[in-house]
């Protein structure tokens, strides 16, 4: 099975090294194309007004892994890999393992999820993997789960094209309570801009946000209410798997707007 792996934490991040090496050691054909530095919270940005450069990276990953470091965004990396660097399309795109959770509405800003979403847009099943801690450094349990997941893809391919957003609790393997299929929850933040002055006397701002609350998504979204929320199960040490798609059309909104009249148009 041919795998393309990217991330938003950069080429030297421990998460992507653990993931790629674990899958290569399991016998998969692994290619890594990821940013040359941290590009977290870049969303689905693409580089359009300057060239994108990619350099072959050696001695960072398992010897069987082909790796490039790209100076673009996570989405750039996957797009460049699919259209320029790879000789043939991969069977699966994986992004991560991210240092920190991507739960609820955080996925809208996530470079990790966006890299995986680029694979989905190109018609390839994709997975975003995140470890729910900004300080925990043991990525091996998450990588082991990814290895099990890839084996599951081989035995039971996804019936529809989708992205699986997976969050793994930052605990030992034996402390993981299980796996839950979840709905996307909501996370609201208190966004505080710290006003500072640089050595030249010019004002700049630094965004420092804190989670205000985790919330239930609106009932109007018509999501199955019998499934738990990603933001809830992770607190109980369950691995959360949320299927995503790129079509953001609001179905209820289509019905509500159907009787609007625009005079003179």
pLDDT digit string, tens, across residues 202-250: 999 988 777 766 666 666 666 677 789 999 999 999 999 999 999 988 8
The C-alpha angle 220, 225, 227, rounded to 5 degrees, equals: 135
Is 43 within the bounds of a domain? yes
pLDDT on residue 252: 84
Same domain, 176 and 84: yes
Domain span holding position 122: 2-183+222-247
pLDDT on residue 141: 97
CA distance 139 to 17: 9
Per-residue DSSP letter, 217: P
Is 259 within the bounds of a domain? no
pTM: 0.91
Choose among 20, 26, 4: nearest CA to 151: 26
pLDDT on residue 88: 95
Is 255 within the bounds of a domain? no
Is 257 within the bounds of a domain? no
Is 262 within the bounds of a domain? no
Q: How many structural domains compose the chain?
A: 2
Same domain, 88 and 202: no
Same domain, 50 and 91: yes
pLDDT on residue 174: 95
User: For position 148, which CATH number holds?
Assistant: 3.40.1210.10
Please report, for residues 50, 130, 175, the alpha-carbon distance to residue 239 in angstroms, rounded to integers and kept in the order given: 39, 10, 11
CA distance 142 to 140: 5
Same domain, 178 and 194: no
CA distance 77 to 36: 10
Low-confidence ranges of the chain (pLDDT < 50): none
Same domain, 44 and 85: yes
Same domain, 124 and 211: no
């Amino acid at each position: 099975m041919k795998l393309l792996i990217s991330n938003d934490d950069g080429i030297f991040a421990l998460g992507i090294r653990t993931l790629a090496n674990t899958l290569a050691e399991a016998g998969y054909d692994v290619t890594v194309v990821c940013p040359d530095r941290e590009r977290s919270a870049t969303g689905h940005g693409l580089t359009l007004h300057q060239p994108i450069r990619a350099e072959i990276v050696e001695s960072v990953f398992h010897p069987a892994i082909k790796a490039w470091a790209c100076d673009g965004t996570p989405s750039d990396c996957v797009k460049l890999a699919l259209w320029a660097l790879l000789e043939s399309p991969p069977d699966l795109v994986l992004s991560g393992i991210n240092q920190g959770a991507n739960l609820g509405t955080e996925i809208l800003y996530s470079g990790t999820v966006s890299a995986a979403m680029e694979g989905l847009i190109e018609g390839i099943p994709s997975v975003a993997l995140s470890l729910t801690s900004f300080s925990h450094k043991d990525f091996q349990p998450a990588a082991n789960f990814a290895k099990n997941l890839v084996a599951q893809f081989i035995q039971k391919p996804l019936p529809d094209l989708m992205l699986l957003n997976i969050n793994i609790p930052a605990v030992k393997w034996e402390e993981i309570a299980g796996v839950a299929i979840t709905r996307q929850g909501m996370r609201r933040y208190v966004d505080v801009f710290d006003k500072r002055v640089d050595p030249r006397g010019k004002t700049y701002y630094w965004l420092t946000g804190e989670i205000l609350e985790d919330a239930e998504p609106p009932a109007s979204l018509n999501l199955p209410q019998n499934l738990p929320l990603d933001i809830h199960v992770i607190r109980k040490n369950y691995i959360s798997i949320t299927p995503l798609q790129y079509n953001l059309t609001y179905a209820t909104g289509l019905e509500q707007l159907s009787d609007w009249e625009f005079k003179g148009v």
